[in-house]
Structure 1
Amino acid sequence: MRAARVAPDCITMVSMLSTCSDMGALTIGAEVHQFVESHRVEVDMKLGTALVDMYAKCGDIENSLKVFRAMPVMDVLTWK
């Protein structure tokens, strides 16, 4: 995507975080989170839930709770 100069969007980030969750790749997932913050990608309900899920599945409960508590809007999947 970078080579094509295409900016990743929220959906791309959710997909990447889901993959990190499945693989237990905390370091890469944290890098994705850092990218989201540094590029000011809007953290909507789906992306916030993906971040919470990734951190929790990778065993980083502290950051999972931090993201969870910062979410302005939540749905049933966020609480799951």
Structure 2
Amino acid sequence: MQQANVVPDKVTFVSVLLACGDVGPLGTCKMVHEFIENSRFEIDFKLGTALANMYAKCGDIDNSLKIFNAMSKKELFPWSAMIVGLANQELVIG
């Protein structure tokens, strides 16, 4: 997209974050997060949930919790992402 000078929107970033959480290494995930911050997108409900989910799936529960705690609106999906992320972290550690 960058080579074609196409500017991604929030929906594109949510899709990218979901893909990164499933297959991406943590370094790539952090680069995408940094790109989002540099693009000055507001971390809203959907983007925040996708970020928290991505970090949790990559095993970075600290960043996942940081994103979750910064969210002003916490409904079903952010809570679900954190519960699953914390449970998976416990399975890995425990």
TM-score (structure 2 length as normaliser):
0.79
Give unmatched runs, 5+ long, in structure 2. Answer: 81-94
Q: Return the offset for 1:29.
A: 1.0
Partner of 1:47: 47
Distance (whole Å) between structure 2 residues aligned to residue 39 and residue 76 of structure 1: 27
Corresponding position of 1:5: 5
Displacement of 1:25 in angstroms is 2.1
CA–CA distance in structure 2, aligned partners of residues 69 and 76 of structure 1: 14
Q: Which protein, 1 or 2, shows the higher relative CO under an 8 Å CA cutoff with sep ≥ 6?
A: 1
SS in 2 for 1:64: helix
Decide which structure has the larger Cα Rg and report it.
Answer: 2
Q: Which aligned pairs between 1:1-80 and structure 2 lie closer than 5 A?
A: 1-80=1-80
Query: How far is 1:61 from its partner?
Result: 0.7
Q: What TM-score do the two structures reach when normalised by structure 1?
A: 0.91
**1:7–1:24 CA distance, 2 compared to 1 (3 A):** closer
**For 1:74, what is the secondary structure of its paired residue?**
coil
Give the unaligned 5+ runs of structure 1.
none
Higher helix proportion (structure 1 or 2): 2
Q: For this pair of structures, how many residues does the alignment match?
A: 80
